[in-house]
């Protein structure tokens, strides 16, 4: 019966211009098709999750290429043109240079009367092993209680597929796609998107020249309500190396008589922040953009339940006392996190060794008005000053990597207006306007290099566990997210013609 109804709706409206019809007339057959084909969509996600596209392991780059090929084939089947853009090589530790997986640049037939939307996504994933604590095989999509578990389900294979399924839905129901579409799909995002920045600069006057809007779906909601994201933090990663004796020493023989590299390192790491989470590096907090009343108001309507957020991560309390302060600490203020110590004894059991060399690792998340180059200088000067006070004969070396800038967008941009309308159509509520505490370098890169409007339109749930064990996306979010993307195409075109 549902198939008959879909056919009738298609026959009634296939010859009409979608921009002149009420949204329900245009979107109802699309939503019906998506509901009818959801099992097929989930099956396809399972096929993608099964590809071990872990970009951190060069031995698995062939799997990334395989998934890029699968994606390109799907785009070509829908009438798109695909280019595998070369982004150069990477030198391995043994000196060998290997070609990086290419970037898909895809586009469909262009109508000069329609706005052009460019969709970014990535197909690579974080490492995952069942023995890391997964309840299921991370590369076998498993549905439990309405959730689809598997590495990449929410970051970022599910959202990329949802965009392709939204396009498929228009074509399958024989409705005119209301916007021109382009895709940028890469396979190295999880390790820094090597080569993508330069590729964007090279194609600024060609591939990106006629793009009006760029949309990214590579993050998640902050609560159970849908959201639009208008900002991310930047990030710099630091390595603090303390090198002392020429070999490891016996603590029973030399303990108490030598300057131990580990002791020096602990003092250095301990000087970075206090028990409240405040960063103690001089100058870091001075460049943070001041909080305006307009921005403060945005936090009041966000449905963030403190108790609900404590449970899945297993903490008893947060550093802040209320919702607004917690969200601002996560989104609009810098933070510093210590991640580990290389060279220290970490195996089971005991070992009474004094390591000759240790490397502390930490990252600093940056916010608007902070420059990575300046942050790097401030951190190095601080650590060198602290080390000098220790009067240690050991050697200190501080290096950094990444240096990704933060990103913030204009909420009054037409793309955000269309996004809000699409969310209201699909979910029946106004979206929460949120920022993202993590770093998505490509957002700022696209905005700075191309000068185009950039928006983040997430469909992942707040509890999806991206990068973690048992990553998932709910069937509800995956399917309703596909509807959201289909509605976004329509609302963006409608806004363009009826401002």
Each residue of 106-163: pLDDT tens digit? Answer: 999 999 999 999 999 999 999 999 999 999 999 999 999 999 999 999 999 999 999 9
Q: Is 155 annotated as a binding residue?
A: yes
Residue 307 lies in a domain: no
Residue 313 lies in a domain: no
Last-in-domain residue among 369, 404, 439: 404
Predicted pLDDT of residue 8: 36
14, 58: one domain = yes
Predicted pLDDT of residue 425: 96
Structural domains counted in the chain: 2
Strand partners, 432: 227
Predicted pLDDT of residue 283: 95
**pTM, 2 dp:** 0.86
71, 186: one domain = yes
Tell me, what CATH number does 155's domain have? 3.40.630.10
Predicted pLDDT of residue 14: 38
Taking the C-alpha atoms of residue 405 and residue 256, their distance in angstroms, rounded to an integer, is: 44
The segments of the chain whose pLDDT lies below 50 read: 1-19
281, 428: one domain = no
Residue 254 lies in a domain: yes
Predicted pLDDT of residue 497: 62
Question: Where do the DSSP E strands lie in 86-124?
Answer: 89-91, 97-99, 103-107, 116-122
Predicted pLDDT of residue 498: 59
Taking the C-alpha atoms of residue 338 and residue 317, their distance in angstroms, rounded to an integer, is: 19
Q: Is 467 annotated as a binding residue?
A: yes
248, 221: one domain = no
Q: What's the 3-state SS for 186-255?
A: ECCHHHCCCCHHHHHHHCCCCCCCCCCEEEECCCECCCCCCEEEEEECEEEEEEEEEECCCCCEEHHHHC
Residue 304 lies in a domain: no
Distance of CA 414 to the CA centre of its chain: 23
Q: Is 218 annotated as a binding residue?
A: yes
From residue 44, alpha-carbon distances to 41, 228, 362 in Å are: 5, 26, 38
Residue 448's nearest CA partner among 403, 419, 409, 412 is 409
Predicted pLDDT of residue 21: 55
Longest dimension (CA), the chain: 89
Predicted pLDDT of residue 403: 75
153, 248: one domain = no
Cβ-contact 68, 185 below 8 angstroms? yes
99, 241: one domain = no
Residue 386, helix vs strand vs coil: helix
Residue 298 lies in a domain: no
Last-in-domain residue among 404, 428, 456: 404
Predicted pLDDT of residue 267: 97
Residue 303 lies in a domain: no
Last-in-domain residue among 384, 404, 424: 404
216, 282: one domain = no
240, 219: one domain = no
Residue 311 lies in a domain: no
201, 241: one domain = no
Looking at the annotation, which residues are catalytic?
A: 124, 189
Tell me, what CATH number does 263's domain have? 3.30.70.360
Residue 305 lies in a domain: no
Predicted pLDDT of residue 313: 81
Residue range(s) defining the domain that contains residue 460: 2-232+406-497
228, 247: one domain = no
Distance of CA 52 to the CA centre of its chain: 18
391, 479: one domain = no
435, 486: one domain = yes
* CB proximity list for 75: less than 8 A, separation 6 or greater: 82, 104, 106, 164, 183
């Amino acid at each position: 019966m549902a198939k008959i109804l879909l056919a009738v709706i298609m026959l009634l409206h296939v010859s009409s211009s979608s921009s002149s019809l009420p949204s329900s007339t245009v979107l109802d057959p699309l939503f019906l098709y998506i509901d009818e084909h959801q099992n097929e969509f989930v099956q396809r996600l399972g096929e993608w999750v099964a590809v071990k596209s872990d970009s951190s392991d060069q031995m698995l780059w062939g799997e990334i290429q395989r998934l890029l090929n699968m994606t390109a084939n799907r785009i070509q089947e829908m009438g798109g043109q695909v280019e595998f853009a070369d982004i150069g090589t990477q030198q391995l530790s043994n000196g060998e240079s290997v070609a990086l997986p290419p970037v898909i640049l895809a586009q469909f037939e262009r109508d000069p009367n329609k706005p052009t939307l460019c969709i970014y996504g990535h197909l690579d994933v974080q490492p995952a092993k069942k023995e890391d604590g997964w309840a299921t095989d991370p590369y076998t999509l498993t549905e439990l209680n309405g959730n689809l578990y598997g590495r990449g389900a929410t970051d970022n294979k599910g959202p990329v597929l949802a965009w392709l399924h939204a396009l498929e839905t228009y074509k399958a129901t024989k409705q005119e796609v209301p916007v021109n579409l382009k895709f940028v799909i890469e396979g190295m995002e999880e390790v820094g998107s090597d080569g993508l920045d330069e590729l964007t600069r090279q194609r600024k006057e060609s591939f990106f020249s006629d793009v009006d809007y760029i949309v990214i779906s590579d993050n998640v909601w902050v609560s159970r309500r849908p959201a639009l994201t208008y900002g991310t933090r930047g990030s710099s990663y630091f390595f603090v190396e303390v090198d002392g004796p020429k070999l490891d020493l016996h603590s029973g023989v030399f303990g108490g008589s030598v300057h131990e590299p580990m002791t020096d390192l602990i003092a250095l790491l301990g000087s970075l922040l206090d028990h409240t989470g405040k960063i103690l590096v001089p100058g870091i907090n001075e460049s943070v953009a001041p909080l305006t009343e307009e921005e403060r108001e945005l936090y009041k309507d966000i449905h963030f339940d403190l108790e609900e957020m404590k449970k899945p991560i297993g903490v008893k309390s947060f550093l802040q006392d209320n919702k607004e302060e917690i969200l601002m600490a996560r989104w609009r203020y810098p933070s510093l996190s210590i991640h580990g110590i290389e060279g220290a004894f970490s195996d089971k059991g005991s070992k009474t060794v004094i390591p000759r060399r240790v490397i502390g690792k930490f990252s600093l998340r940056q916010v608007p008005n902070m420059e990575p180059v300046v942050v790097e200088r401030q951190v190095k000067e601080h650590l060198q000053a602290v080390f000098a006070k220790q009067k240690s004969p050991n050697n200190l070396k501080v290096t950094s990597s990444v240096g990704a800038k933060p990103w913030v967008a204009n909420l009054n941009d037409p793309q955000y207006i269309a996004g809000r309308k699409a969310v209201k159509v699909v979910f029946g509520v106004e979206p929460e306007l949120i920022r993202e505490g993590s770093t998505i370098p490509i957002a700022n890169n696209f905005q700075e290099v191309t000068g185009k409007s950039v928006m983040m339109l997430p469909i992942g749930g707040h509890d999806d566990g991206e990068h973690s064990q048992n990553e998932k996306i709910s069937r509800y979010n995956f399917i309703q997210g596909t509807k959201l993307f289909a509605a976004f195409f329509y609302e963006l075109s409608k806004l363009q013609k009826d401002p």
